[in-house]
Amino acid sequence: MLDVEDWAEIRRLHRAENMGVKAIARRLGVARNTVRSALRSDAPPKYERSPQGSIVDVVEAEIRELLKDTPDMPATVIAERIGWSRGMTVLRDRIGELRPLFLPPDPAQRTWYRPGELAQFDLWQPDVEIPVGFGQARKLWTVVGVSGFSRLIDARMVPSRAGHDVLAGMLHVIEGFGGVPRKAVWDQEGCIGRIRQKKQILTAEFQSFRGVLGMGAVLVGPVDPEAKGLVERANGYLETSFLPGRTFADVDDFNRQLGVWLKRANQRIHGTTKIRPSEAILEDRGAMMGFPPVLPDPSWRFSTRLPRDHYVRVDTNDYSVNPRFVGRRVDVTVSLDQVVVTCETTEVARHKRCLAKHQTLLTPDHARILRQIRSEAAEVAAVEVAVEERDLTVYDQLYEVA
């Protein structure tokens, strides 16, 4: 077989020296047909070993039939179905080659983001117990957002995954961006929306929220993690760079430490864009939409009649209300950090929101008013009421009793 050196020399002699086939054959001592083959070939000669076959060849047809019906069937199950008793490595290799033939293509698209175009959001649960008072501690959720163009990260820990808490955290993140991105990318969170029959169905809360901001929404399918890769990497960054070695006194302390860390993190040079997010956000912000005159208020609101024990229940906790409004209808507004109760236009209670479970919270003012009401009731009960005494002889005369 002609080696690469002779092949290259034949082509040099022919192209550079203008030598003919016979002259080249005499000089190199090769056959003229060998010279002609070298001149016709644009690629160097390469030795290829003839295939030897594999022990899996005899069962390949059976493997194809199984994969045709169930493309994701595990290799161990296939081995059981075909009665395979040889080594599993060679079988797995062949199944790995055949399986893509029966699966729909799933390419990952490389994405570029224009300034102000979109931001990705996600819920991250730090693996740490946050003290919430009354000797209790809980693992809470954090709303994380990343602006697509600048890669600026912002985040806020929230009390729960309920819609009013998540959207309040999302509003905090958007305010951290300094503008409203034109689209928000989310997973299929219960408080955000679902995909049904290839159609996005957003919750009423999220529809109202994004409608006030004028922002679009994109939900990501469960098998498409690349579509939300920016915020997924940000979650990993928080997990490995912010969380280790830290302790937190409460939710406010967590958010305070997180805010300080994010300022430093956003000043680093990003590995992909080679720009500091804190600098790139200026161009990003210039292309974002401005905030509306009135921002959305995602607080949880409900109305109830104040019972005799003058408490309203939020989650599992009871909050005291001015006892003088017992029996009247009151409106309750629950934000990230406060519970406010009003009756018509009068504020009748304001509490710091309690994140512990099954607690009863009574303010000193409400306790004082309750004592005052009881004292007033006792005074009324002590007052003697004059009652007229009827002359009983009147009844005798009425019935002519002698």
The pLDDT of residue 40 is 87
**Rounded Cα gap, residues 340 and 351, in angstroms:** 6
Angle, CA 153 vertex, CA 149 and CA 155 arms, to 5°: 140
The pLDDT of residue 12 is 87
pLDDT in tens, the chain (402 residues): 678 888 888 888 888 888 999 998 898 888 999 888 888 887 887 767 766 778 888 899 999 999 998 899 999 999 999 999 989 999 999 999 999 888 887 665 556 789 999 999 999 999 999 999 999 999 999 999 999 999 999 999 999 999 999 999 999 999 999 999 999 999 999 999 999 988 999 999 999 999 999 999 999 977 666 678 899 999 999 999 999 999 999 999 999 999 999 999 999 999 889 999 999 999 999 999 999 999 999 999 999 999 999 999 999 999 999 999 999 999 999 999 999 999 999 999 999 999 999 999 999 999 999 999 988 888 777 665 555 666 667 666 666 655
Largest Cα separation within the chain, whole Å, is 169
The pLDDT of residue 106 is 63
Closest listed residue to residue 133, CA positions, set 248, 301, 284: 248
The pLDDT of residue 46 is 76
Closest listed residue to residue 318, CA positions, set 353, 273, 272: 353
Domain boundaries, the chain: 4-40, 57-102, 118-287, 300-382
Token pair 């594999």 is found at 54
The pLDDT of residue 386 is 52
The pLDDT of residue 392 is 67
The pLDDT of residue 4 is 83
* Contact (Cβ atoms closer than 8 angstroms) between residue 141 and residue 167: no
Torsion on CA atoms 62, 67, 70, 72, rounded to nearest 10:
130
**Rounded Cα gap, residues 218 and 193, in angstroms:** 10
Determine the straight-line distance between the first and last CA of the chain, rounded to whole angstroms.
154
Radius of gyration of the chain (CA): 39
β-sheet with 317-320: strand ranges across:
311-314, 317-320, 360-361
What residue type is 17 in one-letter code? E
Count of alpha carbons within 13 Å of 275, Cβ hemisphere only?
Answer: 13
Quote the CATH superfamily of domain 118-287.
Answer: Ribonuclease H-like superfamily/Ribonuclease H (3.30.420.10)
pTM for this predicted structure: 0.70
* Contact (Cβ atoms closer than 8 angstroms) between residue 303 and residue 331: yes
**Rounded Cα gap, residues 246 and 256, in angstroms:** 12
The pLDDT of residue 39 is 87
